[in-house]
Structure 1
Amino acid sequence: MATTLPTFKLVLVGNGGVGKSTFVKRYLASDLKKTYLSTRGAEVYPLNFTTNYGDITFNIWDSVLSEKFGHPRDDFYVNGQCGIIMFDLTSRITYMNVPSWHREIVHRCGNIPIVICGSKVDIRERKLKPKVIDFHRKMSLQYHEISAKGNYNLEKPFLSLTRELTGHQDLEFVTSPTLAPAEVQVDADLMQQYNEEFSSAAQKPLPEEDSDL
């Protein structure tokens, strides 16, 4: 018998301009209701999924201050239960800052489940090749490449977090919120190529120092 799963606070962080708000707002087609908390500089979006174990809700905290000042206020992280760190595949500096965002989440929230997302995978002129993206491997984190405008892989970060939060590795989404229509087309052959490159890179030892970006 399915059981109802709890609600989790998800902190969504990353440099300004990487696509965090666009990522969340793809779900506006399902009447996603936003709450603005001026005292914490955050917009909060509740997002509901139905799983084979019951319903689950993520309250996604998207910092509006990171666009202007670089980092959210301290109380943005209070009671955070999971996190997504997002960077832009067309911007090396946003990936170079991922370790800093990771340290900040761990410092503020403790050892909570975290997923890393590389955004804008639909753009062919990516600056970060699969072989240099290895921070997630060093930290044993899940990593997903997404396209908000192309509606590509948008569920995967939530599925990874849900499995880790609940401990049910066989958990699947039965129904998901409706997405707004895709604005760009994602090249399936190119995505397959990237997946193969990641598989190849995963077989190689991690470099002792940071990869040459």
Structure 2
Amino acid sequence: MATEKKFSDDIDEIPDSSSCTKPGKYKIVIIGDGGTGKSSYVSRLQSEGFRHEYIATMGVEKTEIVVDTSHGECIISLWDTAGQEKLGPLRDAYYEGADAAIIFCDVTSRVTYKNVPLWHKDVMRVSEGIPIVLCANKIDVKERKVKSKGITYPLKFNMGFFEISVKNRLCLKEPLEYLLQQLTKELDLKIVASLDAAVFGDVSNICI
């Protein structure tokens, strides 16, 4: 079921695509093993509460959001895909037309990081050459199994990488900023500060 969320109360309608640098609307697929925090991330981007219980996504859930940036408003269509292997054959249709992808792994589960190459290859089969960012989630958990120095895969494939905590709202904006910078070719693009505290958490938190 598609939902729509706007990040600013003074936005009355979805802007024309010309308001953002070439163009203003992007499809971003969110992939990774089940339970890594993909759906919770989307909820956080909509200023919703944190999901403490795990509810598996069936198929795909689409959410359209409007993001204010230093280069204008951008429309992002987030496709939150299922992480269950039995639903794998359906994913090709979700990948088609994707402009970028976010891969999630869980630093408390080694297998979710080991599966990152599989997810990367899976999406590249259908949408070759799109910008991709890896989000290593749950850095708020002390008993992490995957250490920062052990996460080397993104370096081998020119992939963006951020360690985040969806629960504590740490580094939630940086993955989107990175992808928008790649898509618009505007490397100085930033998500505007006025929205950070309400949507992305405390901007004083340092992202790794």
TM above 0.5, one fold?
Answer: yes
Kept after mapping to 2: 8 A contact 1:48/1:176: no
Q: Which amino acid aligns with 1:123?
A: V
Per the alignment, residue 58 of structure 1 pairs with: 76
Task: Select which of 105, 109, 121 maps to 2:127.
Answer: 109
Match of 2:199 in 1: 179
Once the two structures are superposed, the pairs formed by residues 72-151 of structure 1 within 5 Å of their partners are 72-151=90-169
Q: Does 1:26 align with 2:44?
A: yes
Q: CA deviation at 1:58?
A: 1.1
Distance between the aligned counterparts of 1:22 and 1:55, measured in 2? 23
Identity of aligned residues (%): 33
- Secondary structure, counterpart of 2:136 in structure 1: strand
Q: Specify the code of the residue in structure 2 equivalent to 1:69.
A: K
TM-score (norm 2): 0.77
Gaps of 5+ in 2: 1-17, 49-57
- 1:56-85 deviations in Å (ceiling 9; x for gaps): 111000113x24626343211110110000
Q: Deviations over 1:108-151 (max 9, x none)?
A: 11100100000001001110111110000011111001111100
Q: For residue 14 of structure 2, what is the aligned residue in structure 1?
A: none
Residues 145-187 of structure 1, C-alpha deviation per residue, up to 9 Å, x if partnerless?
A: 11111000000000000100001111111144743989xxxxx
Give the number of the structure whose alpha-carbon radius of gyration is greater.
Answer: 1
Instruction: For structure 1, list consecutive stretches of 5 or more residues without a partner in the other structure.
Output: 31-39, 183-187, 196-213
> Hey, which bits of structure 1, 4+ residues long, moved more than 4 A?
none
